[in-house]
Every structure is written in structure tokens, then in C-alpha cells.
Structure 1
Amino acid sequence: MAKQLAAISEHLRAFIEAQHVYFVGTAAPDGRVNVSPKGMDSLRVLGPNRVAWLNVTGSGNETAAHVLQLPRMTVMFCALEGPPLILRLYGTARMIQPGDAAWAEYSARFPPLPGARQVYVLDVDLVQTSCGMAVPLMDYRGDRDDLNGWAATKGPAGLDEYRQLKNATSIDGLPTGLPAHADLTS
């Protein structure tokens, strides 16, 4: 039932672009494995072997810490509507933050979000599909705007303060590469 492919086909690209939620998995050499759900309009297929996703400020920053230690990443999609399918993209990730030379180029691919913190670019070396027949059917009712509202209320200075307090290290104490203070002009 599972198929391994060298690249994202046009059919799989259309599947990815239709999904409302996806999951990102990372791990450092030691410590906890992190699996994080993502939503909003935050993922782009850049080519048959590359995707990028916009990360916003949240309660942690595990992905950043893990990618700095070991840049492997898995992005998983599962059909919650329509025919069953699970799709995993395996590869090597790099992190782009505000102030980095590539930030303007990559962040421009996404709608402006008040909590935008990083863009991750994943170079995909393996695409795997599996049946997904045990994944339940669910109805999409809409995006939540709670996180955007929270970030907008905080403002740039409040987000910087929050990130310094909550996002500078992982739950295992690993540094996340967050700048000491963000460039609030980006």
C-alpha cells in the first residue's frame, strides 16, 4: 500500500495545496521528539523536491532547536476529506528568520501574519504515500483566528518579549537560534 517516490508529483502537489492542516516532526540527537500541527495558509510547494512553511510565534520553538542540532524533518499530511491518503515528505530543513538575507524572498510567499517568526525550507529527498484508510473523515469548518489576534494584540515589542521568555530554548534546554532581540523593523 505504501509507495516511495523521488519527488512531489503534480497530483500530490494538488493534494498538499488542498489540505487545511499538516504536521511537522523533528528531533535533536537527544531529547524529545516533537510533532507539531500547523494550519492557516502557511505552506508552499516550491518545486518537486522543495517546500517551505511559515512558522508563527507559539508556546514553544522546538522545531528551531531541533533543526539547529539535526536538520532532518518530516512533514505529514492526511486526507480528512475525500479519498483516503497519508503523505509524508522527508528531508533536510533550514531555518530563515527575520533579518536573514533570504527572509524577504521567502516570507513574501505567504500572507503577512502578525506572529511570523521563521520560514523553514525543506529539501525533500523522499516522498511516501500510504493508504490512510484508518484516518477519520472530518468536516472543515474554518480557520481559527485566535493566534493572529493574540499576536496582533501583543505587537512587535510584546512578541519580542514573549519570544525571549518562551521561545529562546526548547523544552530540553537547547538553544533555538532566536536573536537576542528581534529586528522590529522587518
Structure 2
Amino acid sequence: MGKFFDAITPQHTAFIHHQKMFFVATAPLAPDTHINLSPKGLDSFRVLSESRVAYMDIIGSGNETSAHIRENGRITLMFCAFDGPPNILRLYGKGRTVLPGTAEWEELSVHFNILPSTRQIIVADIHKVQTSCGFGVPLYEYLGERDHVEKWVEKKGAEGLEAYKAEKNQFSMDGLPTALHSSAPGPTSLP
């Protein structure tokens, strides 16, 4: 049975830190648009306080999360136990995108090992935490991180990465602008 909490507890934080993967879900408000659900890995997630989290977001073929939270702020993060006792933990909140070159970037980036592939930091202010049984989540063995991103970044080079972001990361698949869009005023603020 699910349990709800108003804040992230130390036990929740310990569970989060143990996981090697998490999932991010966002959605635009329009009914004929697409919901986004993305898996995330690397050592990219940080619990900043009992009500704030952040993750380092690397360059990808899309930038749905940034577009959706720029539009409406809604974000859900989910962690599943793939080893040990079964458990699922969800964080519900309002998110925003923080871009390099801003004062907030300088404050947040010290919490991460910033990679050449780092595109932005996604921050979420959490208003509800839910845990549930996780009995249906299978057991998996963690074997390590993939090296594909590092090889891709090396092949692209700094100029190639900027060109790729300009081509692929300024709009969502539904045409919503992301925080990287050239007309965006910079990092979005919480609604």
C-alpha cells in the first residue's frame, strides 16, 4: 500500500542514493501532446534538502523535460529498487531548468561532476513523496555505466555539441520551446 509524505526523509535519501537509475516524467497541458518518460543514469541525482532535488541532464536527442517544465512546471521522479527489498519512491514537484553561465548554475554545479555532455541542471521543488511496495519490479544486477556518451561527445567535439543542441534541443517534439531556445530569457522560474 502506498504511503505519502510531505518531505524527503533521511530514509528516502538513503534509498535514492543507492539507486543506479531513475525515471523522469513530464507532460504538456494540451491533451493532444505527448507525455515524456525518460530513464536517467550516471551519478547525476542529488537530494539538496528535504524539499529540493536536482539532476545533471546530459545532451540527448530531445529536450522534452525542459520544454514541459518551462510550460507548466510539473515533474515526477521515480526510483525503483532493482536489488534488495522491493520499493518504489516517487517525488512530485515543480521543476525548472538551470543553464550554464547563470548564478544558480554556479551554486548547483558544485554538487556534480560536470561532464562535457552536460546540457543543463533540472531542479525540482518537491511537495509530495510517495512510497509503494514495488513487488512487481524485477531484480536486476548492476554491471556498470555505458561509455557511449563519452565516445559520442569526443567524436562531436565542442562545436559539434553546440550545433547538435541548436538543432535538436531547442523545441520539444510537440513544438514547445525549451530553456535552450534562442528566444528564451534564460532559466525558467517556478510557476
- Which category describes the TM-score, using the shorter chain as reference length? over 0.9
Whether 1:2 and 2:27 are equivalent positions in the alignment is no
How many angstroms does 1:34 deviate by? Answer: 0.2
What secondary structure sits across from 1:99 in the alignment? coil
Q: Deviations over 1:80-136 (max 9, x none)?
A: 000000000000111100122211221121112111111011110000000000000
Among 107, 132, 135, the alignment partner of 1:133 is 135
Structure 1 runs (4+) greater than 2 angstroms displaced: none
Whether 1:143 and 2:145 are equivalent positions in the alignment is yes
How many angstroms does 1:179 deviate by? Answer: 4.8
2:171–2:181 CA contact under 8 A, matched in 1: no
Q: 1:179 to 1:155 in 2, by over 3 A?
A: farther
Whether 1:58 and 2:60 are equivalent positions in the alignment is yes
Among 154, 157, 174, the alignment partner of 1:155 is 157
- The residue that corresponds to 1:73 in the other structure is 75
How many angstroms does 1:177 deviate by? Answer: 2.2
Q: 1:1-186 alignment to 2 at 5 Å?
A: 1-30=1-30, 31-180=33-182
TM-score w.r.t. the length of structure 1 is 0.94
What secondary structure sits across from 1:102 in the alignment? helix
2:66–2:96 CA contact under 8 A, matched in 1: no
Q: 1:37 to 1:106 in 2, by over 3 A?
A: same
Q: Deviations over 1:27-82 (max 9, x none)?
A: 11121110000000100001111111010101100001101101010000000000
What 5-or-longer segments of structure 1 have no aligned partner?
A: 181-186
What secondary structure sits across from 2:54 in the alignment? strand
How many angstroms does 1:168 deviate by? Answer: 1.1
TM-score w.r.t. the length of structure 2 is 0.91
The letter for the 2-side match of 1:92 is K
What 5-or-longer segments of structure 2 have no aligned partner?
A: 183-191
1:115–1:152 CA contact under 8 A, matched in 2: no
C-alpha distance in 2 between matches for 1:120 and 1:16: 16
1:92–1:124 CA contact under 8 A, matched in 2: yes
What secondary structure sits across from 1:90 in the alignment? strand
C-alpha distance in 2 between matches for 1:179 and 1:153: 24
